[in-house]
Chains A and B, each alone.
Chain A
Amino acid sequence: MARVLMKGNEALGEGAVIAGCRYFFGYPITPQSEVAEYLARRLPQVDGVFLQAESEVAAINMVYGGSAAGARVMTGSSGPGLSLKQEGISFIAEAELPCVIANISRGGPGLGGIQPAQSDYFQSCKGGGHGDYRLIVLAPSSVQEMMDFALLAFDLADRYRTPVLIMSEGMLGQMMEPVQVREPVTERYEKPWATTGCINREPNIVNTLHLLPTELEDRNQHLFSKYARIAAEEKRAEMVMTEDAELVVVAYGLLSRVVKKAITEVRARGVKAGLIRPLTLWPFPDTHIQKCLDTAKLFLTIEISMGQMVEDVKLAVNGRVPVEFYGRIGVIPSPQEIERAIMAVAERGGLA
C-alpha cells in the first residue's frame, strides 16, 4: 500500500480505526483535540460512535462502560485532562477493562501551556490515580509509530485486560510524515467476562469493591502477578550504538530522535556515546539499561521535564555508575543543543 502523508494525531486516530476501535469518548483540550476531531469525522464512516462527553471525568467513565460491553474503546486527552481522568483510570485498571488512552501531552503544572513537555511521565507511569495499579505506557517517536503503537496498544490492552496509555509530545501530533497504512486488524479476543446481557449464562459482574481485607489483598496480588507477567514479557527499547558505549543517553518520544542525531555527531567527535530509547515507559526497560553496564561509565537522561524518567534510570543503574540529567520545559531542544549538553557531560566525566 502506498505511503500517505499524515499528521501524528491523524495517524493515531486512523491506527485506532485499523485496530478495530469503533468508540471514542473525549473532551476537547489542546493539543489533543485533533485526535478527537479526526475520529469525529472518521468513526461514523465505519459505523462507529464518536461522542463528545461533558467532561474528562465522564469521558473516561464512558470508556469504562464501553469496555465492559466488550468493545475496543479509546479516549484521549492532554495533561490537565488526564489528571481529571485518573479516578476512572484507577477503576478501569482494577476492573481489568482493556482500553486505550492517548495523552498528547503539554507542559504543566497547573494550566501550564501547550508547549512540548514530557512532564506527565509520573502521572502516566507511577499510578496517577489512587491505589496500586500500573498502566502499560507506550512512547511513539514518529508519525508511523503513532499509527503502529495504536495497533499495539489495543492488542496489549486486550491480551492483558489492562488500560494502555500512549504518551506523545504535542509536536509529534502536529508534525507530518509519510505513513505506511497498516492492514485492518481482524483478530479478536474472546471476552467472556463482558457485561453484554446474561443470555444463556450466569450474570457477569464488573466490580472494584472488595470489603473483606483478604479479598482486597488477594485482588491486589492478582493484579500484581499480571503486572509481573507484563514486565517479564513486554519491556521494549531501541538500542542505538550501545555495544561499546561509555556514555549511555536515555531519552524517549520525539525527543529521542533529536538525541539520536546528536549522538552521531558526538561519536564523530570521539565520544563513545549510545542511546537507549524506551518504547515502553512502563514496563520500564531496566534490563536494557543493565545490559549496558559492562561498558557504560556514565548515564545521561534527557527529558522535556525537570527530571522524571531519570528516577527509573537511577533505579535500573542502582548506583553502579553516575546518572546525570539534562532537561528543558516547553521546547524540544535542537540536536545542536543536545550535542553541547552531551559533550559537557562527557568532558566532566572524562569521556571526551
Chain B
Amino acid sequence: MKTVFKVPQSLTGKEWHYCPGCGHGIIHRLIAECMDELDVREKTVGICPVGCGVLAYEYFNCDMLEAAHGRAPAVGTGLKRVLKDRVIFTYQGDGDLASIGMAEIVHAASRGEKISVFFINNTVYGMTGGQMAPTTLLGQVTTTSPYGRDKDREGYPIRIAEMLAPFEGAAYVARVAINTPANAARAKRAIKKAFETQLNGAGFSLVEILSTCPTNWGLSPVEAMQWLADNMIPYYPLGVYKDKEGR
C-alpha cells in the first residue's frame, strides 16, 4: 500500500495544543519535512519563542531550547558560536521577534549569524489573548486596539522581510504564506532554502511566514485563510527579498 500521509521523523507526533485552523501546525510540519529531506534532524537545535509557539519543544523531534521573550536570536548566536557545524533555527512570532526582540533580530541579521529564523506573522499576540502586535494592520481591531489600529496613535505595521533584507549579513530573506496549498508548497521551498543557506555557511536566513489566528481574529478557519489573502498579502507582499546565493 502506498503511504500518502505520515508524521515526519522530525516531529514527535504529539497532538497539537494549537486552536483549530491555526497556522502553527502547518508551519511546524513544513519545517519538519525540510529537516527530514535534508537529513539534519540529529544535528539541529531549535529555539522556541515566548508566545503560542512556546511549546514547540513538545513537537519538534530534535534538541530544543526555550528562550526568553524575544531573545531567541541571541540564544541562537550563543549556540551557533559553540556548535559551528550544527543547524540552529529559531521559531518566533511577531510580538517576540518584531517588538520585544527587535534588537536581537536586527543584530543577528547584521552580524550575518548563520542561523535560520522562521518568523510567524499572524498580526496578533496569540497566547496572551489577541493584543495588538507590531504587525497588526491599520484599522485592525485587537484587545488593545479596540477602535482599530490608528496610524496617528499606534503608528504603522512593520514589514520585517523588507527591513532585514538589505543587511549585508542577511543571505536569504523571503516572505511566504500558508493560506493555500500552493502557497504552502512555496513556503516549504523557502524554508528549505533557509536551511540550505545556513548549511552552505552563506549567512543569516529568515523566512517570514504569513499565518492565521482564527481565534483572536474572531473568524472561522476558512474565513481566516481568506482574510489573510484579502488583508495581509496586499500589505505584506510575498516573494524572495534577498538571495545572496542566487539559486
Interface set of A (CB-CB < 8 Å, partner B): 23, 25, 49, 51, 53-55, 57-59, 61-71, 73, 87-88, 91, 195-200, 203-209
Q: Which of B43, B47, B65 has the most CB of A within 10 A?
A: B65
> Do most interface residues of chain A lie in helix, strand or loop, or is the interface mixed?
mixed
Closest residue of chain A to B40, judged by CB? A197
Interface presence of B193 (CB below 8 A): no
Could you list 21 examples of A-B contacts with CB < 8 Å? A25-B77, A49-B81, A54-B106, A54-B107, A57-B103, A58-B104, A61-B75, A62-B78, A63-B78, A64-B68, A64-B71, A65-B47, A65-B65, A65-B74, A68-B65, A71-B82, A197-B43, A198-B62, A203-B62, A206-B66, A209-B55
Flag whether B131 is at the interface (Cβ < 8 A): no
- For residue B42, CB closer than 8 A to chain A, the reply is yes
Distance in angstroms between the alpha carbons of A196 and B47 in the assembled complex: 12
Contacts of B242 in A (CB 8 A): none
B residues within 8 A CB of A67?
78
A-side contacts of B63, CB under 8 Å = 195-198, 203-205
Q: B66: which A residues are within 8 A, CB to CB?
A: 205-209
Central interface residue in B61, B66, B82, B87, by most chain A CB within 10 Å: B82
For B74, the chain A residues whose CB sits under 8 A away are: 53, 57-59, 61-62, 64-65
CB A25 to nearest CB in B, in angstroms, measures 7
- Which of A65, A71, A197, A200 has the most chain B CB atoms inside 10 A of its CB? A65
The reply to whether B45 and A196 form a contact with Cβ atoms under 8 Å apart is: yes
Q: Are B68 and A73 in contact (CB under 8 A)?
A: no
Instruction: Please tell me if the beta carbons of B64 and A206 are within 8 angstroms of each other in the complex.
Output: yes
A205 to B65, CA, bound (A): 6
Known: A68-B65, A91-B68, A197-B45. A61 touches B104 (CB 8 A): yes
Q: Which of B43-58 contact A (CB under 8 A)?
A: 43-45, 47, 54-55, 57
Complex Cα gap A33–B86 (Å): 31
CA distance A196 to B65 in the complex (A): 11
Are the CB atoms of B71 and A69 closer together than 8 Å?
A: no
- Complex alpha-carbon distance, A208 and B41, angstroms: 23
CB closest residue in chain A, given B58: A205
Chain B, 72-116, CB within 8 A of any chain A CB: 74-83, 86-87, 103-104, 106-107
CB < 8 Å neighbour of B81 from A54, A55, A66: A66
Q: A93 to chain B: closest CB distance in Å? A: 12
A199 touches B42 (CB 8 A): yes
Q: Which residues of B contact A53 (CB under 8 A)?
A: 74, 107
Q: Which residue on B lies nearest to A195, using beta carbons?
A: B63
Taking CB atoms, residues of chain A closer than 8 Å to B199 are: none
A140 to B107, CA, bound (A): 35
**CB pair A195 B65 closer than 8 Å:** yes
> How many angstroms between the C-alpha atoms of A209 and B65 in the bound complex?
11
Closest chain B residue, CB of each to CB of A75 = B78
Q: Is there a chain A Cβ closer than 8 Å to B138's Cβ? A: no
Q: Which residues of B contact A70 (CB under 8 A)?
A: 82
Task: Determine if B62 and A23 form an interchain contact, defined as CB atoms under 8 angstroms apart.
Answer: no
Q: Is B184 an interface residue (CB 8 A)?
A: no
Contact of A198 among B42, B65, B78, B82 (CB under 8 A): B42
From B60, B68, B82, contact of A69 by CB (8 A): B82
B83–A23 touching, CB < 8 Å: no
Q: How far is the CA of A49 from the CA of B75 in the complex (A)?
A: 15
Interchain CB contact (< 8 A) of A197 among B65, B86, B103? B86
Query: Are the C-beta atoms of B103 and A23 separated by less than 8 Å?
Result: no
Residue of B nearest to A72 (CB): B82
* Given A65-B74, A205-B63, A88:B82 Cβ within 8 A: no
Chain B residue at minimal CB-CB distance from A70: B82
A-B contact sample (4 more), CB < 8 A, given A54-B103, A197-B62: A59-B74, A65-B75, A197-B43, A205-B65
Q: Determine how close the nearest CB of chain B comes to the CB of A141; give it in whole angstroms.
A: 31
Of the residues B42, B54, B55, B76, contact of A65 by C-beta under 8 Å: B76
A64 in contact with B67 given A53-B74, A199-B42 (CB within 8 Å) = yes
- Closest approach, in angstroms, between the C-beta of A33 and any C-beta of chain B? 19
Shortest CB-to-CB span from B68 to chain A, Å, is 5
- Closest CB-CB distance, B73 to chain A, in whole Å? 8
Using CB atoms, name the residue of chain B closest to A22: B82
Pair A57/B71 contact, Cβ less than 8 Å: yes
| Cβ–Cβ contact B77 & A206, under 8 A | no
Contacts of A197 in B (CB 8 A): 42-45, 62-63, 83, 86-87
- Whether A58 pairs with B67 at a CB distance below 8 angstroms is no
Contact B64 A195, beta carbon cutoff 8 Å: yes
- A58 CB contacts on chain B under 8 angstroms: 71, 74, 77, 103-104, 107
Q: Within the assembled complex, what's the spacing in Å between the Cα atoms of A197 and B80?
A: 12
Instruction: Tell me the complex Cα distance, A34–B218, Å.
Output: 55
Q: How far is the CA of A203 from the CA of B87 in the complex (A)?
A: 14
Residues of chain A within 8 A of B45, CB atoms compared: 69, 195-197
On chain A, the residues within 8 Å of B78 by CB distance are 23, 25, 61-69, 73
The 8 closest A-B pairs by CB, nearest first: A65-B78, A61-B74, A66-B78, A62-B78, A69-B82, A54-B107, A65-B75, A195-B63
